[in-house]
């Protein structure tokens, strides 16, 4: 099949491209610039250059495409765009173009279903797009993945600097998932009918466990500062009050995740401790 991957240059999207190519699909990337890295280019049939917030630039991107997979979103990046522009607006524009071109299925990578996150702007923008997709007239699959290993790298970065700060006394839990496991779920969705798929990692870890795993990967003794969650929720409340959406919208999701349990059904196979060991060895 011919599959368009939006967000192909990102952490998850690049893994989806590789997984699809390994399964023999022909892959078109939607990218903002033509300079896709060479290993990724080797997996691609072609590239459509567009900023998906500019609907006109999407014209033709889905021509000849059977299935669209979108891993396009704003993840903590400094930009003038907001989650409503990208996570909802750009994906909606892509859905319209997919419909126009006669695409048969749209696979969307959303975010974990966790009650304490539902009021966060980024999650609300994604839920709105999910509603667009459900009423969009195309077959669809929505993936609900927990936090990626790429986000857990912040624990490793703190450990490298000598101290990891955890909130909620360190006892809050998450089962983060490797992007490669999410890519498998996305590629499965090309041919499988399930409309909703939760994706979590195999290990439920406390933040303290994650901090210790980061130090262990570096071969250093753990130095952990445990703060109560209210310090972070208080800082978030101030951020929301004093900064525009394009600033607090970027920070609200990753910080809110640190103040509560965030759990998804365990479907992934890869372990965070192995990822940390590999990342530590790579320097
Ligand atoms: N990170 C997590 O822990 C996590 C957990 C659950 C769900 N998710 C969701 O999974 C998706 C992928 O996350 P990720 O960590 O792979 O993020 P990422 O590495 O930042 O990748 C995001 C991708 O979206 C593209 N993009 C952003 N704005 C665009 C626009 N206006 N037009 C075209 N492309 C645009 C980026 O292109 P450029 O390379 O040009 O910037 C990039 O390819 C996101 O929707 C995210 O919310 C993430």
Cβ-based neighbours of 188, under 8 Å, separated by 6 or more: none
Residue 103 domain-assigned?
yes
Q: 11: Cβ below 6 Å to ligand 1?
A: yes
Query: Taking residues 86-96, what's their average pLDDT?
Result: 98
Has residue 8 got a pLDDT over 90? Answer: yes
Is the pLDDT at 76 greater than 80? The verdict is: no
Instruction: Calculate how far, in angstroms, residue 137's C-alpha sits from the geometric centre of ligand 1.
Output: 25
Q: What is the pLDDT of residues 222-277, one digit of tens each?
A: 999 999 999 999 999 999 999 988 888 888 999 999 999 999 999 999 999 999 99
Where residue 53 sits, what CATH number does that domain have?
Answer: 3.40.50.720
- Which contiguous run of DSSP H or E holds residue 143? strand 139-145
Is there a domain that residue 128 lies in? yes
Q: Is 33 helix (H, G, I), strand (E, B) or coil?
A: coil
CB atoms within 10 A of CB 137: 9
In this structure, of 163-167, 218-222, 235-239, the range with the lowest mean pLDDT score is: 235-239
Burial of 263 (0-12, 13-18, 19+ CB in 10 A): middle
Residue 80 in domain: yes
* pLDDT of 65 strictly over 90: yes
| Ligand 1 touching residue 142 (CB < 6 A) | no
Domain assignment present for residue 231? The answer is no
Which pLDDT score is estimated for 89? 98
pLDDT digit string, tens, across residues 10-63: 999 999 999 999 999 999 999 999 888 888 999 999 999 999 999 999 999 999
Across the chain, mean pLDDT equals 96
- Ranges assigned E (strand) in 146-234: 164-167, 173-174, 196-199, 205-206, 224-227
- 83 token code pair: 């989650």
pLDDT in tens, 188-203: 999 999 999 999 999 9
> What is the predicted pLDDT for the residue at 283?
80
Q: Ligand 1 centroid to 112 CA: how many Å?
A: 15
Which pLDDT score, from 0 to 100, does residue 51 have? 97
Angstrom distance (rounded) from CA 233 to CA 221: 29
pLDDT for 2 equals: 98
Is the C-beta atom of 82 inside 6 A of ligand 1? no
Residue whose token pair is 């996570």: 87
Q: Distance between CA 245 and CA 253 in Å, rounded?
A: 12
Checking if the pLDDT of 1 tops 90, the result is: yes
Q: What is the 260 CA–ligand 1 centroid distance (Å)?
A: 23
Structural domain that includes position 66: 2-146+178-200
Region class of 46: left (phi > 0), else alpha (psi between -120 and 50), else beta: beta
Determine if ligand 1 sits within 6 Å of the CB of residue 13.
yes
The predicted pLDDT at position 75 comes to 82
Residue 94 within a domain: yes
Instruction: Write the DSSP symbol of residue 169.
Output: G
Token pair in block for residue 85:
């522009």
Could you give the CA distance from residue 113 to residue 199 in angstroms, rounded to a whole number? 10
Counting the structural domains of the chain, the total is 1
What's residue 36's pLDDT?
Answer: 85
Q: Is residue 47 part of a domain?
A: yes
pLDDT reading at 77 higher than 80: no
User: Is 32 within the bounds of a domain?
Assistant: yes
Neighbours of 136 (CB within 10 A): 16
Least reliable range by pLDDT among 130-144, 174-188, 199-213, 226-240:
226-240
Q: Measure the CA–CA gap between 158 and 72, rounded to whole angstroms.
A: 27
Residue 79's pLDDT band (cuts 50, 70, 90): confident
Residue 99 included in any domain: yes
């Amino acid at each position: 099949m011919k599959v368009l991957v939006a967000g192909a240059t990102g952490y998850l999207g690049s893994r989806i491209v590789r997984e699809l190519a390994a399964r023999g699909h022909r892959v078109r990337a939607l990218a903002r610039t033509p300079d896709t890295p060479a290993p990724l280019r080797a997996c691609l049939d072609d590239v459509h250059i567009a900023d998906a917030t500019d609907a006109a630039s999407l014209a033709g991107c889905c021509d000849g495409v059977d299935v669209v997979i979108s891993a396009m979103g704003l993840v903590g990046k400094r930009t003038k765009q907001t989650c409503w522009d990208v996570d909802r607006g750009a994906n909606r524009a892509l859905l319209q173009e997919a419909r126009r071109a006669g695409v048969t299925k749209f696979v969307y990578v959303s975010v974990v279903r966790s009650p304490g996150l539902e009021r966060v702007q980024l999650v609300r923008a994604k839920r709105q797009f999910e509603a667009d997709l459900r009423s969009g007239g195309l077959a669809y699959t929505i993936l609900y993945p927990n936090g990626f290993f790429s986000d857990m790298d912040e624990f490793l970065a703190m450990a490298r600097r000598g101290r990891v700060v955890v909130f909620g006394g360190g006892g809050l839990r998450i089962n983060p998932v490797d992007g490669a496991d999410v890519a498998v779920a996305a590629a499965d969705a090309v041919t499988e009918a399930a409309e909703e798929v939760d994706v979590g990692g195999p290990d439920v870890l406390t933040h303290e466990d994650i901090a210790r795993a980061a130090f262990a990967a570096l071969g250093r003794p753990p130095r952990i500062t445990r703060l109560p969650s209210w310090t972070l929720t208080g800082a978030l409340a101030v951020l929301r009050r004093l900064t525009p959406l394009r600033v607090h919208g970027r920070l609200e999701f990753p910080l809110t995740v640190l103040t509560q349990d965030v759990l998804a059904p365990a479907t992934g196979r890869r372990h965070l401790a192995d990822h940390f060991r590999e990342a530590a060895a790579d320097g």
